[in-house]
């Protein structure tokens, strides 16, 4: 008997009952329940994907809500994975939701990914993207990739062999990661709130097409969308001869690889908000804000020296202390400033950078 919940899609002749059965039997893992993951999860659950896994160790913050519309103000401080699972179960109690309230790592990736048919990468940092890509290649799992920044987003389907046997992966487009401080994430660069909704929905659509065996998925193609002018284009991704040599040979080698180190700057020791709090109480530290003037959030909780990154190199002689902790909005520019300091002073000064920036510190204070 036809389920009225799915009648609008089963009535499509290209989809039909066969497509719905395939969705009900499918297992999809969404890594990251943030800007991209939220819309993807909502539409995958609504469509009736039988088993959905959610990987995220983050908690809901006020700054998330303009784009992560799965959550509400009452959810601030709650686990994203656990809260998303509750909301999705209420949306569709006929499916199974499996939350993983943890970050994906080299030690748990094989165990988690092996349980699912298709993986969606909704993360927002390069270390996670390379880790997820390499794990999917090793496990033979298709990967639906999405990324956003400012007004532009990308979607692609990797690790799915075409009829001629060709299969591309993320490293065929981006063989090696940029330094951690070279490219800004959404916290630093900003993002228009509607963009992750569109890109995340496209990611869900690609997964549904793959599962239901309909349409022309973005296999071996990278689609780019610009929300300012509504222009879209896609590029064919050719498997590159050297890309597989960059991926660990097996899961033992994968577990030994440090993806954070691979994508990070070595100019400074990164510290978490708790350690930052300790340093604020130590008068031997010089605390430096490298944000541009008038950036938000405004900081009134402690004293600091403002040296904007745009003119930082000209201002380093103002720093007299030998122990320095640098912060910016999300932790990217502070690493860049640390590199500049290290080039001037070498190892004569101890340099620290606040990981996640002042936004992470503010969120930590609110929890």
Burial of residue 346 (CB within 10 Å: 0-12, 13-18, 19+) is: exposed
Q: For residue 337, what are its two tokens?
A: 């400033």
Burial class (CB in 10 A: 0-12, 13-18, 19+), 241: exposed
- Selected catalytic residue, list 38, 136, 186, 263: 186
Half-sphere exposure of 309 (CA within 13 A, CB side): 18
> What is the number of alpha carbons within 13 Å of residue 307 lying toward its C-beta?
23
Query: Within a 10 A sphere around the Cβ of 229, how many other Cβ atoms?
Result: 8
Strand partners, 225: 153, 232
Is 328 an active-site residue? Answer: yes
Judged by phi (left if over 0) then psi (alpha if -120 to 50, else beta), residue 165 lies in: left
Catalytic residue among 38, 136, 263, 328: 328
Distance CA 329, CA 291 (A): 7
Per residue in 311-337, is it b (16+ CB within 10 Å) or e — as a string?
Answer: ebeebbeebeeeebbbbbbbbbbbbbb
Concatenated DSSP letters for 223-279?
A: EEEETTTTEEEEEE-PPPTTGGGGS-SSHHHHHH--HHHHTS-SSSEEE-HHHHHHH
Question: Could you tell me if 119 and 142 are in contact, meaning their C-beta atoms sit under 8 angstroms apart?
Answer: yes
Distance, CA of 159 to chain centre = 19
Known catalytic residue at 186: yes
C-alpha to C-alpha distance for 243 and 121, rounded to whole angstroms: 19
Which residues are known to be catalytic? 186, 328
């Amino acid at each position: 008997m036809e389920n009225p919940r799915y009648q609008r899609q089963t009535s499509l002749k290209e989809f039909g009952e066969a497509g719905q059965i395939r969705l009900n039997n499918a297992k999809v893992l969404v890594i990251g329940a943030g800007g991209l993951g939220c819309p993807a999860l909502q539409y995958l659950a609504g469509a009736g994907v039988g088993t959905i896994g959610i990987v995220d160790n983050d908690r809901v913050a006020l700054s998330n809500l303009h784009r992560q519309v799965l959550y509400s103000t009452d959810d601030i401080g709650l686990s994203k994975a656990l809260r998303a699972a509750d909301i999705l179960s209420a949306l569709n109690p006929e499916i199974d939701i499996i939350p993983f309230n943890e970050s994906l790592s080299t030690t748990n990736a094989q165990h988690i990914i092996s349980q699912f048919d298709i993986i969606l990468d909704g993360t927002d940092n390069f270390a996670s993207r390379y880790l997820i890509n390499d794990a999917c290649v090793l496990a033979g799992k298709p990967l639906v990739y999405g990324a956003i920044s400012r007004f532009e987003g990308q979607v692609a389907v990797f690790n799915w062999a075409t009829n001629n046997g060709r299969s591309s992966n993320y490293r065929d487009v981006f063989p090696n990661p940029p330094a951690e401080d070279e490219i800004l994430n959404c916290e630093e660069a900003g993002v228009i709130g509607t963009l992750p909704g569109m890109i995340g929905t496209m990611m869900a659509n690609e997964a549904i097409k793959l599962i239901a065996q309909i349409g022309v998925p973005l296999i071996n193609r990278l689609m780019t969308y610009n929300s300012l002018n509504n222009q879209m284009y896609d590029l064919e991704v050719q498997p590159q001869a050297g890309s597989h040599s960059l991926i660990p040979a097996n899961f033992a080698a994968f577990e030994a690889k440090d993806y954070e180190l691979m994508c990070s700057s070595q100019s400074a020791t990164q510290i978490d908000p708790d350690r930052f709090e300790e340093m604020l109480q130590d008068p031997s530290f010089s605390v430096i804000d490298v944000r541009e003037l008038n950036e938000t959030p405004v900081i009134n909780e402690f004293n600091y020296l403002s040296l904007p990154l745009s003119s930082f190199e000209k201002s380093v002689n103002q720093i007299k202390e030998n122990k320095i902790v640098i912060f910016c909005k999300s932790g990217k520019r502070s690493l860049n400033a640390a590199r500049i300091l290290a080039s001037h002073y070498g190892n004569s000064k101890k340099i620290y950078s606040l990981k996640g920036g002042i936004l992470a510190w503010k969120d930590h204070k609110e929890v």
